[in-house]
Amino acid sequence: MNRFRVLVAKGIGFLQEFFISVTGPAQVVLYCTAPHTSLLPRRYPGIHFLIHLAMPTENTGIYGHLWNKYRPVLLKLMIAAADKPQDYRLYPHEFQSLNPRQKGGFTFTLEARGGKALNNIRKSPVAIDLLQVLQQSPRAVELMEEATYELSLDKNFILHVNRKEEIEKEVIE
């Protein structure tokens, strides 16, 4: 099931019809029509105009679109974590507005390798959605094939990204 987040502009009450068209795996277009062209703002000449929506996130929960927004940053943090652990401050209001009654807070620790969680994250929807967004990125999956990553969010909404190097045991023959 695909989920789309539609952003509604305030003060525009002249739209009558909406047509959704999937133009590719990463783009969805919303076609809108207005009853009278005189009601359209001058910057939108003609009857039809387009609103491009965010990339659909398949099989993600309520935090999926938020993690999808941060995906480029997450990939940069994962790459930079090869040198030293990385930290990134997130905005608490973004998480709290999505689910103000989140039980147990938003903190989590996710250990991932090969696109799968190594620890139990079933009680953290924030961590589950993060893993699902990372699984949709070929580069993130490639990085998780190379090493184990520990991603954790603390109570101050700082995301910590650590790359755990595997110690290879040499067999003495």
Distance between CA 106 and CA 96 in Å, rounded?
A: 9
- Identity (one letter) of the amino acid at 100? P
Burial letters for 160-172: b for 16+ Cβ neighbours within 10 Å, e otherwise? Answer: bbbbeeeeeeeee
Categorize the per-residue pLDDT at 59 as very low, low, confident or very high, splitting at 50, 70 and 90: low
Give yes or no for a contact between 42 and 28, defined as CB atoms under 8 angstroms apart. no
Element (H, E) at 158: strand 158-164
- What is the tens place of the pLDDT at every residue in 114-152? 999 999 999 999 999 999 999 999 999 999 999 999 999
Distances from the Cα of 77 to the Cα of 24, 87, 172, angstroms: 28, 8, 36
Distances from the Cα of 139 to the Cα of 9, 22, 80, 142, 166, angstroms: 34, 24, 14, 5, 20
Residue indicated by tokens 């689910």: 99
- What is the tens place of the pLDDT at every residue in 10-25? 344 444 344 444 444 4
Give this prediction's pTM.
0.64
Q: 8: burial class by Cβ within 10 Å (0-12, 13-18, 19+)? A: exposed
Distance between CA 150 and CA 148 in Å, rounded?
A: 7
Residue 66 CB neighbour total at 10 angstroms: 21
- What is the tens place of the pLDDT at every residue in 149-163? 999 999 999 999 999
Distance between CA 145 and CA 82 in Å, rounded?
A: 14
